């Protein structure tokens, strides 16, 4: 386990966990249309997010469930074909007891026969602070033994309408027995 980066936590505390000044964004069709019409006056901004994803495979209440695999998956050294659905909490710090600011909901499948790599199809759904009710959609390749895994953010909703960006994932702690893992995420996103 690594030491918690106090400066980063402080940054997160002020930039993500700050109570919302304007509440959640109106998602009615009329409000969305108005937003698009006003877009040309809007300036793109860069938002940085930092959080930890807790992937709990083995526990009384796991956050992931294997939903499919092929006959050959159990014989494959890379678990080719294994498909998992997840609803993992996102927290400010790496401790499981840390403040939850959202969830990563989606699917990953083992898609490589050579190295161990997953395709990640995730919605990052924020439920706290400035981005409460807003989401980001991530689609990318996650070769989990690489130190950093860069994955595209393809869009978003609410405060993140028309967002694009990059999420960088790094394993923070992995228990090889339980397969429970904590991953650190840095997300840089351009939005209006």
Closer to ligand NAG by CB, 34 or 74: give it. 74
The stretch among 8-16, 25-33, 142-150, 175-183 that binds ligand NAG (CB under 6 A) is: 175-183
Q: Does 128 bind ligand NAG (CB under 6 A)?
A: yes
From first CA to last CA, the distance across the chain in angstroms is: 37
Q: Does 133 bind ligand NAG (CB under 6 A)?
A: yes
Kindly state the number of chain residues that form the binding site for ligand NAG, as judged by CB under 6 A.
10
Q: Does 177 bind ligand NAG (CB under 6 A)?
A: yes
Strands (E) in 25-160, as ranges, are 45-55, 64-68, 83-91, 100-110, 118-126, 135-142, 149-157
Q: Does 135 bind ligand NAG (CB under 6 A)?
A: no
Nearest approach, Cβ of 132 to ligand NAG (angstroms)?
4
Length of the chain counted residue by residue: 192
Q: Does 127 bind ligand NAG (CB under 6 A)?
A: yes
Binding flags for ligand NAG, 1-30, as an x/- string (CB under 6 A):
-------------------x---x------
Q: Which two tokens stand for residue 156?
A: 């978003």
DSSP for 98-137?
Answer: SPEEEEEEEEEEE--SSS--EEEEEEEEE-SGGGTT-EEE
Closer to ligand NAG by CB, 56 or 117: give it. 56
Q: Does 71 bind ligand NAG (CB under 6 A)?
A: yes
Q: Under 8 Å CB-to-CB from 165, ≥6 apart: which residues?
A: 136, 152, 153, 187, 188, 189, 190, 191
Residues 84 to 123: which contact ligand NAG by CB under 6 A?
A: none
Residue 9 and residue 12: Cα distance in Å, rounded?
Answer: 5
Torsion of CA 139, 10, 2, 174, to 10 degrees: -30
Nearest approach, Cβ of 103 to ligand NAG (angstroms)?
13
Rule CB under 6 A: which residues touch ligand NAG?
A: 20, 24, 71, 127-128, 132-133, 175, 177-178
């Amino acid at each position: 386990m690594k030491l918690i980066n106090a400066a980063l936590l402080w940054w997160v505390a002020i930039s993500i966990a700050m109570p919302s000044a304007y509440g959640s964004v109106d998602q009615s069709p009329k409000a969305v249309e108005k937003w698009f019409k006003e877009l040309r006056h809007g300036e793109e901004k860069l938002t940085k997010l930092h959080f930890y994803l807790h992937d709990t495979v083995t526990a009384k209440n796991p956050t992931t469930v294997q939903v499919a695999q092929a006959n050959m998956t159990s014989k494959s050294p890379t678990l080719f074909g294994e498909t998992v659905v997840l609803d993992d909490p996102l927290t400010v710090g790496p401790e499981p007891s840390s403040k939850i600011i959202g969830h990563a909901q989606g699917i990953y499948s083992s898609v490589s026969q050579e190295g161990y790599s997953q395709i990640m199809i995730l919605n990052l759904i924020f439920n706290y602070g400035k981005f409460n009710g807003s989401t980001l959609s991530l689609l990318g390749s996650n070769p989990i033994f690489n130190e950093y895994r860069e994955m595209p953010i393809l869009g978003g909703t609410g405060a993140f309408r028309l967002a694009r960006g990059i999420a960088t994932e790094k394993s923070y702690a992995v228990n090889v027995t339980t397969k429970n893992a904590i991953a650190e995420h840095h997300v840089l996103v351009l939005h209006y």
